[in-house]
Amino acid sequence: MKRGRYGCLVPEHIASGDIPAELVREAALAWQLPAGREGIEIRSLEVASEIQDAAEIFDVVWPPLGGGTQVPPNLLRAITHSGGYCSAAYVDGVPFAAALALFGMHEDENGRHNHLHSHMAGVLESHRNRGFGTLIKAHQRWWAMSRGIDKIVWTFDPLVARNAKLNLVNLGVSVRDYEVNFYGAMNDAINVGEESDRVFAWWDLTGDRARTAARGELGPIVELTSSQVVVQTPEDIVALRTSDPAAAQQWRDEMRRNLLREFAAGREIVGVTAHGDYVLDTVGA
């Protein structure tokens, strides 16, 4: 083991990756320049007092029902000490966003590969719709690349349109693998009573899509190719769950049916239309 940039212990084979230095510098500038313009400080959290900042952000964004906490600070400390990622964004010393990720592993035809599994990333309501979610993910991208990791994976609810835009347009991920009720019953105020269907975002950190998105040049898909299909998304599923739960469940059922069918046919989500609907294409097309 060797000690990483922020004092955490990092396995040698992870820390000694071969991502070109110029790509790591490019990733660093992708968050450092906009953060500087906005007067934002983003830092990785190591000591217990700082980690508490992230825990409190998570509990505000996903309020636990019946008290308690989403992620106990002692667990966060164990994750960072063992080489995981935890960060928070600050303005004038006050935290307003946080993210958490663990080391993971996936397997393909070329063997096993390390990745970062991004479990939570949230921004307080007072700071949303200002690009700060994209900014903290850009920090996470640089952090992973600086440790030789070229993939970040996470899950999100395919019905939530703002997550789709963030992931597919602002970050440049591809989306595949639909899991029905992936987390089981969830006890936070946002997800309580909902089936936790999730899709998986795969972020190729050094790929063309991620680099184009980091420059703000990706955008929605405006012209479809012959191999692409569209799956509609609801305009605001969060509001619909309150105003018409039955209609929200119909959207869940339809989305599940459509995406399972398209993923089984070898397609993945590669972008969104200007209206926010998913665009799927055959892998490798």
Structure tokens at 50: 């700082």
Work out the angle at residue 145's Cα, subtended by the Cα atoms of residues 143 and 149, and round it to the nearest 5 degrees. Answer: 110
Helix (H/G/I), strand (E/B), else coil: 17:
coil
Answer whether residue 259 is part of any domain: no
Instruction: Specify whether the CB–CB gap between 94 and 53 falls below 8 A.
Output: no
Pairing, β 267-272 against β 198-204: unpaired
What b/e sequence results for 219-247 when a residue is b if at least 16 CB atoms lie within 10 Å of its CB, and e otherwise? eebeeeeeebebbebbeebeebbeeeeee
Answer whether residue 260 is part of any domain: no
Answer whether residue 99 is part of any domain: yes
Answer whether residue 233 is part of any domain: no
Instruction: Specify whether the CB–CB gap between 89 and 135 falls below 8 A.
Output: yes
Residue range 83-103: mean pLDDT, rounded: 95
Report the range of poorest mean pLDDT among 2-16, 33-47, 146-160, 251-265.
2-16
Query: What are 268's strand-pairing partners?
Result: 281
Residue 1 confidence (pLDDT)? 35
Answer whether residue 9 is part of any domain: yes
What is the domain extent for residue 134? 2-219
Q: How confident is the model at residue 89 (pLDDT cuts 50, 70, 90)?
A: very high
Answer whether residue 138 is part of any domain: yes
Residue 188 confidence (pLDDT)? 60
> What's 63's DSSP letter?
P
Residue range 192-203: mean pLDDT, rounded: 86
Residue 258 confidence (pLDDT)? 97
Answer whether residue 119 is part of any domain: yes
pLDDT digits over 217-275, tens only? 999 999 999 999 999 999 889 889 889 999 999 999 999 999 999 999 999 999 999 98
Percent of the chain with pLDDT over 90: 69
Helix (H/G/I), strand (E/B), else coil: 266:
coil
Answer whether residue 267 is part of any domain: no
Orientation of helix 73-81 relative to helix 48-61, angle to 10°: 120
Structure tokens at 89: 């964004």
Decide which of 255 and 163 is more confident.
255
What CATH number corresponds to the domain at position 124? 3.40.630.30
Tally of structural domains, the chain: 1
What b/e sequence results for 14-44 when a residue is b if at least 16 CB atoms lie within 10 Å of its CB, and e otherwise? bbeeebeeebbebbbebbbebbeeeebebeb
Residue 190 confidence (pLDDT)? 66
